């Protein structure tokens, strides 16, 4: 697929410098990011941010960024941001000809499935996901043979090929709603074991679980959270449901990344720890500078493959394009559309 765009860009990373013009153009952005990005680093980020924001206009492009992107991306160049469900919905609504997905590969596939006529780009093709890698389309077919007539609910953290073998998709925010919408006594849920166990505890539906794990969330421990409580007795602990059960039991609140953000905004705790990928805390802290964020730092190596220089190169060269074969795209798109039809509320 070929994108149409305006005049050819001529900006290269090697040509960029922190000029007074760049400083002026990016000053409002840095004013928001001052508490999470040291001033000495801004002279590196600012020329890239200015070039990317200018190039977006030339390309009629829009940048979607997941909550786990670093602050200079999330607040500096993203037009739309959020969790997996929010990005899926926003991708459908954009009028831009080019979508740059700052996240991991399954998210870019999702954007392409929902926008087949648009050019969808990802800055690094190696930005993968341990959950997506934990299950294949043939695994789903074998599960269907083992459990005939049992519907398959697939977490969005999966490849398009796996989605194509599924009945419906879900995110961590709408998983219970999706499971119960099927009206079945049993469902197969894949691939995250811990999210599946969490769902099973919130519904009367029997949940058959696959044992995939997120390499970020599975590393958290209940002992780690207990240590935070001993050090900070007034702390409020928010955990993502991809964490192990003992971690969720220790938390004060369990929810998707969007649910965590809403909770912080509504409750305004004095001190909080978000038990999820560590850039999330930086991004939320920008919005709530009065709250003390204790930052556990489990980085997602795949999310961190997305950088400002790679985003600029993506826009300059219109690469790397994400494509999904027609054979896979049709059924995968149906599974996503069924998810989006279940409810218009929350999101990952």
Per-residue pLDDT reduced to its tens digit, 168-200: 999 998 999 999 999 999 999 999 999 999 999
Asked whether residue 193 is domain-assigned, the answer is yes
Tell whether 26 and 118 lie within a shared domain: yes
Q: Which residues lie below 8 Å from residue 27, measured CB to CB, with a gap of 6+?
A: none
pLDDT at 28: 97
Which of 196, 213, 230 is where one domain is finished?
213
Asked whether residue 190 is domain-assigned, the answer is yes
Tell whether 246 and 187 lie within a shared domain: no
Contact 85, 347 (CB under 8 A): yes
Contact 171, 156 (CB under 8 A): yes
Element (H, E) at 274: strand 271-275
Asked whether residue 289 is domain-assigned, the answer is yes
Tell whether 138 and 96 lie within a shared domain: no
Beta bridge partners of 209: 189
pLDDT at 296: 79
Contact 313, 104 (CB under 8 A): no
Give the span between the Cα atoms of 276 and 68, in whole angstroms.
9
Phi, psi of 198 (to 5 degrees): -65, -45
Tell whether 84 and 27 lie within a shared domain: yes
pLDDT at 14: 56
pLDDT at 4: 35
> Which CATH number do you get for residue 135?
3.40.50.10800
Radius of gyration (C-alpha) of the chain in whole angstroms: 20
- Which stretches in the chain have pLDDT values below 70? 1-14, 343-348
Tell whether 152 and 204 lie within a shared domain: yes
Q: Total domain count for the chain?
A: 3
pLDDT at 346: 41
Compute CA 333 distance to the chain's CA centroid, rounded to the nearest angstrom. Answer: 18
Tell whether 91 and 182 lie within a shared domain: no
Tell whether 56 and 116 lie within a shared domain: yes
pLDDT at 265: 96
Name the residue among 88, 127, 92 with its Cα closest to residue 110. Answer: 88
Tell whether 90 and 42 lie within a shared domain: yes
Asked whether residue 340 is domain-assigned, the answer is no
Tell whether 231 and 281 lie within a shared domain: yes
pLDDT at 344: 52
Give the span between the Cα atoms of 48 and 315, in whole angstroms.
12
Tell whether 223 and 208 lie within a shared domain: no
Beta bridge partners of 102: 65
Which residues form the domain of 284?
217-294
Give the span between the Cα atoms of 71 and 80, in whole angstroms.
13
């Amino acid at each position: 697929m070929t994108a149409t765009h305006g005049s050819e860009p001529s900006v290269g990373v090697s040509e960029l410098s922190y000029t007074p013009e760049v400083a002026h153009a990016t000053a409002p952005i840095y004013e928001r990011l001052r508490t999470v990005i040291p001033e000495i680093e801004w002279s590196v980020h600012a020329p890239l941010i200015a070039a990317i924001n200018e190039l977006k206009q030339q390309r009629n492009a829009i940048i979607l960024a997941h909550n786990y992107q670093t602050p200079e991306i999330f607040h500096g160049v993203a037009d739309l941001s959020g969790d997996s469900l929010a990005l899926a919905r926003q991708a459908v609504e954009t009028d831009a000809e080019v979508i740059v997905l700052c996240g991991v590969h399954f998210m870019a596939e999702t954007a392409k499935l929902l926008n087949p006529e648009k050019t969808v780009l990802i800055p690094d093709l190696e930005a993968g996901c341990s959950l997506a890698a934990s299950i294949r389309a043939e695994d789903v077919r074998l599960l269907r043979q083992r459990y005939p007539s049992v519907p398959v609910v697939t977490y969005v953290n999966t490849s398009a090929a796996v989605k194509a073998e599924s009945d419906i998709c879900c995110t961590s925010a709408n998983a219970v709603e999706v499971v119960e919408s099927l009206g079945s006594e049993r469902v197969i849920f894949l691939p995250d074991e811990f999210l599946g166990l969490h769902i099973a505890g919130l519904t009367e539906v029997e949940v058959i679980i696959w044992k995939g794990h997120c390499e970020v969330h599975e590393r958290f421990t209940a002992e780690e959270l207990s240590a935070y409580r001993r050090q900070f007795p007034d702390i409020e602990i928010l955990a993502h449901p991809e964490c192990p059960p003992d971690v969720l039991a220790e938390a004060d609140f369990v929810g998707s990344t969007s649910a965590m953000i809403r909770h912080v905004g509504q409750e305004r705790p004095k001190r909080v720890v978000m038990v999820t990928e560590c850039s999330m805390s930086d991004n939320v802290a920008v919005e709530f500078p009065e709250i003390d964020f204790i930052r556990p730092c489990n980085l997602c190596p795949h999310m961190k493959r997305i950088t400002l220089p790679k985003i600029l190169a993506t826009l300059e060269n219109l690469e790397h394009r994400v494509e999904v074969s027609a054979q896979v795209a049709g059924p995968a798109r149906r599974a996503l559309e069924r998810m989006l039809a279940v409810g218009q509320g929350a999101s990952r």
